[in-house]
Amino acid sequence: MTNDEIKTFIENAIKENRVMLFMKGTPQQPACGFSMRASGALNALGVKYAALDILPDPRIREELSGVSGWPTIPQLFVDGELVGGSDIVMEMFESGELAGLLGVEQPELEEEPEPEQPVQQRPIGLENRLN
């Protein structure tokens, strides 16, 4: 896979998935505390989202940062727009802004809502092609 193909894949993933999270590891097995917090916030809100593990190929991160202008991982996109990294996502989660943006109810923080299974097809597709 060429760098251009990776870039196009990333751009399409952002375009085609309303809520798109680029992270280290997967929502089931986050490989970094920051990625774990970002996917945890989305899980707590019970929204469907697509997640892409950037670790299998270092070029994914390079191309992603080229597209977004954002240097760190995770990166959350909603409606094709970069929302932010884990600090911004957590700030917006705690203030209820993220729930508003995603059009869901802010959960009671005392309860542990049942997380919806995130959509995983696309990320796995990319990983397979890269391997």
Partner 1 sequence: MPSAEELRTRIEEALPGAEVSVVDTTGGGDHFRAEIVSDHFEGLTRIQQHKLIYDVFGDEVGGAIHALSIKTETPSPAGDGR
Find all residues with CB under 8 Å of 94, minimum gap 6, and list them. none
Query: Does 14 interact with partner 1 (rule: CB under 8 A)?
Result: no
- Pairwise CA distance, residues 22 & 69, whole Å: 14
- The DSSP bridge partners found for residue 51 are 21
- Report in angstroms how near the CB of residue 121 gets to partner 1 at its nearest: 28
Part in contact with partner 1 (CB under 8 A); list of ranges 1-9, 10-18, 38-46, 76-84? 76-84
97-126 binders of partner 1 (CB under 8 A): none
How would you class 29 by CB atoms within 10 Å of its CB: exposed for 0-12, middle for 13-18, buried for 19 or more?
A: exposed
- Largest Cα–Cα distance in the chain? 46
Indicate whether 86 belongs to the interface with partner 1 (CB under 8 A): yes
Alpha-carbon Rg for the chain, nearest whole angstrom, is 14
Kindly state whether residue 91 participates in binding partner 1, applying the rule CB under 8 A. Answer: yes
40-69 binders of partner 1 (CB under 8 A): 61, 69
Q: Quick check: 77 binds partner 1 (CB under 8 A)?
A: no
- The yes or no reply on residue 88 touching partner 1 (CB under 8 A) is yes
Q: Which residues in this chain contact partner 1 in the complex, by CB under 8 A?
A: 34, 61, 69-72, 82-88, 91
